[in-house]
Amino acid sequence: MDVRGGPSDQEVVARVLGGDREAFGLVIRRYETGLVRFATRMLGSRDAAADAVAESLMRAYRHLASCRDPSRLRTWLYRIVANRCKSYLARRHVGDVTLEEASPVADSTDNEASLERAEQLALAARALAQLSSEKREAFVLKHVEGLSYQEMAAVTGVRIPTLKMRVHRAREALLRALEDHA
Amino acid sequence: MNAIDPRIHQALDGEISRDSLPPELRGTVDRLETVAALLASAPAAAGLEARVMAALRRPAPPGAGARRLVRWLTTPHPVTFRIRPAWSLALAAAVALLTLVPTQEAGPVLGEHEGIAQFVGRFPDARSVHVVGSFNDWRPGTIPLEDPDHDGVWRATVVLPTGAYEYMFVVDGERWVPDHMVDRLVEDDFGRENSIVIVRTARR
Amino acid sequence: MKLGLLLALVASPLGAQSVRGRLEGRVPTLAIPVVDSLVQVAAREDLPTEPLVQKALEGGAKRVPPQQIAAAGQVMLGQLRDARELLVRAGDAAPTTAAEVTTVYSALKRGLAPRVVARIVAALPQEPRGSALHAVADLAAHRFDADSAASLILDATRQGLRGERLLDVSTAVLHEAQRGRSRNEALALVRQRLPNVPPPPKPGRASIAGARRPEAAAPPP
């Protein structure tokens, strides 16, 4: 059973495979926030991220039977979104996001604290946007999405030592980028 | 590239304690963690559920050819023309609607007090799977599940009188397995657990 | 009741043939007279008999030894008596119907406390309680407080929801919990929205078209 209560991923997958299409809404609600955040950080654009995740979820629905281990539905979904982001970036022929797209919109409740936070986020997003897509992916999966190296390997299909190396390089590059922007 | 002190990586990877670091290295760890926390602040809800579910509710194309076409349309391609993914979804749905021939399969006519029970189990290595329960007098072998595409997922859709039933799966004619994908389980008094299915009326 | 005593009751012929006919060839020979006698005892006490037959058929199908089938039947007879007693204590005028006894028996088997079951029974005197009890049991199975769950389901009945629709109330609560709300928040939120809880999707045309009737479809015991 899922720790948050409600049906487990296995059960939800079984319901969908059994023809209960609406149960897939649960999958979306459960993972949408993380997937959109991951895609936003990868693509630097919320609109593009929403498109990429929407496509990925439709793909996941169509190929749900090929998710061999529904208890690992989360990493399976991240894998589909990661691949979709790669395709999107490749199609743009640019590995990096543009600075304009990386700029977050300030919170609508425009007070001093939220403006400062928006500025800090903009700075962090710009620094992240300067990383190569591989390093960005490694950093975001590890530190933003909080995946273990094992889960990251399942998402990316890359060996753990290589992933560790990418995360280390990403941290170093991010610190340098932050210093440049500071 | 300027390498940073390896202890910073060790602390961030949880291999050593942050508190064991000298203050200047702790500052760097904190800085990276702050950046991660900022980036982890969730973007505004994208409201994808309504959008995706609306697309999924549209009728599916009847044939493999049409399915391939939809797949092609919904999959970004590096050639020919470029369209925004959102538009490709809409276009695919429109084409699906245009090419759809409504299916007229009759199926059983359901009575007022009848509903549909769907049984699904994942048994990758099974040769046969049956569902056995109080709906068929616990008679093994009468309701087979099928796995036509050999993906290890077995299914059966059955018309039953409305009500609650206990059941188990029988794999390869001998192995009794509860349906662990459902939450409703009850002791069977023989040392195992039955699953419970509640069949609701299909006519609403 | 000892197995020997049960075997001694075999001589009673009342209604034996129909039950024996259903058990023969499907339940170990040694267990048939025991089950048969339990069924007759249940019939004399106006208790439901079908659950006893089903339990024996289940044991036979699962190749359970005859002693265990007999023991399970014996335990079940006691539980059916408890269920009937609960119904009467909660205000149902005797004779109680077999269906209601079976409903209460099932709710107790699902782990609901007799106190909670009695509360639902007493609050819904004029109608079947099966869905209400399943809805409460569904929430209790997800570690919701059973009393709070029962309160919500009874609130839903006061708002006009009946029968299977009560299952949609528990489903709505589980969905809210799934979205990250605490259990209390999920209960409160759904209570606020009552009687507006989404119904389940209708089975699609394709599902109905692919559905089959099993050879031996039996109504629920």
B183 touches chain A (CB under 8 A): yes
Whether the pLDDT of residue B80 is over 70: the answer is: no
Mean pLDDT over residues C152-164, rounded?
Answer: 95
Higher per-residue pLDDT: B204 or A177: A177
Q: What is the DSSP letter of B149?
A: T
Give pLDDT, residue A47.
82
Q: Specify the residue for token string 């859709």.
A: B157
The answer to whether A30 contacts C207, with C-beta atoms less than 8 Å apart, is: no
What letters, b where the CB count within 10 A reaches 16 and e where it falls short, cover A103-123?
ebebeeeeeeeeeebbeebbb
Mean pLDDT over residues B53-63, rounded?
Answer: 71
Q: What band does C37 get if pLDDT is binned at 50, 70 and 90?
A: very high
Nearest partner of B174 among B146, B147, B140, judged by Cα: B140
Q: Could you tell me if C2 and C92 lie in one domain?
A: yes
Whether the pLDDT of residue C193 is over 90: the answer is: yes
Give me the percent of chain A exceeding a pLDDT of 70.
82
Average predicted confidence (pLDDT) for chain B: 75
3-class secondary-structure state, position A6: coil
Q: Is residue C212 part of a domain?
A: no
Nearest partner of A122 among A106, A144, A137, judged by Cα: A106
Mean pLDDT over residues B160-169, rounded?
Answer: 94
Q: What band does B152 get if pLDDT is binned at 50, 70 and 90?
A: confident
Q: Is residue B79 part of a domain?
A: yes
Answer whether C136's CB lies under 8 Å from C126's CB.
no
> What domain range is C156 assigned to?
110-200
Q: What is the DSSP letter of C9?
A: G
89-118 of B, contacting A, C-beta below 8 A: 89, 118
Whether the pLDDT of residue B47 is over 80: the answer is: no
Give pLDDT, residue C82.
96
Number of domains, chain C? 2
Q: Could you tell me if B133 and B157 lie in one domain?
A: yes
Q: What is the CATH number of the domain that holds A143?
A: 1.10.1740.10
Nearest partner of C186 among C126, C145, C128, judged by Cα: C145
Lowest mean pLDDT among A83-87, B98-102, C163-167: B98-102
5-44 of B, contacting A, C-beta below 8 A: 8-9, 12-13, 28, 31-33, 35-36, 38-44
Whether the pLDDT of residue B102 is over 50: the answer is: no
Q: Could you tell me if C155 and C181 lie in one domain?
A: yes
Token duo for residue A99: 């600075």
> What domain range is A96 assigned to?
9-181
Chain C residues within 8 A of B189 when measuring between CB atoms:
55, 72, 75-76
Strand-pair partners of B118: B157
Higher per-residue pLDDT: B75 or B134: B134
Its ipTM equals 0.88
Q: Is residue A31 part of a domain?
A: yes
As a whole number of angstroms, the distance between CA C210 and CA C183 comes to 38
Q: Is residue C209 part of a domain?
A: no
Give pLDDT, residue B190.
94
Number of domains, chain B? 3
Q: Is residue A111 part of a domain?
A: yes
> What domain range is B10 assigned to?
6-40
| Residues whose CB is less than 8 angstroms from the CB of residue A149 and which lie 6 or more positions away in sequence, other chains included | A142, A160, A163, A164
Q: Could you tell me if B180 and B129 lie in one domain?
A: yes
3-class secondary-structure state, position B123: coil
**CA C95 vs CA A11, B15, B130, C84, C87: distances in Å:** 40, 69, 39, 9, 10
- Phi then psi dihedrals of residue B25, to 5 deg: -75, -35
Q: Is residue C220 part of a domain?
A: no
Q: Is residue A3 part of a domain?
A: no
Q: Specify the residue for token string 């639902």.
A: C120
As a whole number of angstroms, the distance between CA A127 and CA A124 comes to 5
Q: Which amino acid is at B5?
A: D
C128-150, pLDDT tens digit by residue?
899 999 999 999 988 899 999 99
Number of domains, chain A? 1
Answer whether B118's CB lies under 8 Å from A11's CB.
no
Q: Could you tell me if B136 and B191 lie in one domain?
A: yes
B196 touches chain C (CB under 8 A): yes
Q: Could you tell me if B119 and B70 lie in one domain?
A: no
Considering the entire predicted model, what is its pTM? 0.55
The answer to whether B4 contacts A20, with C-beta atoms less than 8 Å apart, is: no
Higher per-residue pLDDT: B127 or B109: B127
Q: What DSSP line would sit under A59-79, residue for residue?
A: HHHHTGGG-S-GGGHHHHHHH
Q: Could you tell me if C56 and C130 lie in one domain?
A: no
The answer to whether C200 contacts A29, with C-beta atoms less than 8 Å apart, is: no
Mean pLDDT over residues A33-55, rounded?
Answer: 89
12-41 of A, contacting B, C-beta below 8 A: 13-15, 17-22, 24-25, 28-29, 32-33, 36-37, 40-41
CB neighbour class for B50 (10 Å; exposed up to 12, middle 13-18, buried from 19):
exposed
Give pLDDT, residue C127.
81
Report how many helices (DSSP H) and strands (DSSP E) chain A contains, helices first: 9, 0
Give pLDDT, residue B99.
29
Q: Is residue A90 part of a domain?
A: yes
Give pLDDT, residue C10.
42
Nearest partner of C124 among C91, C97, C147, C98, judged by Cα: C91
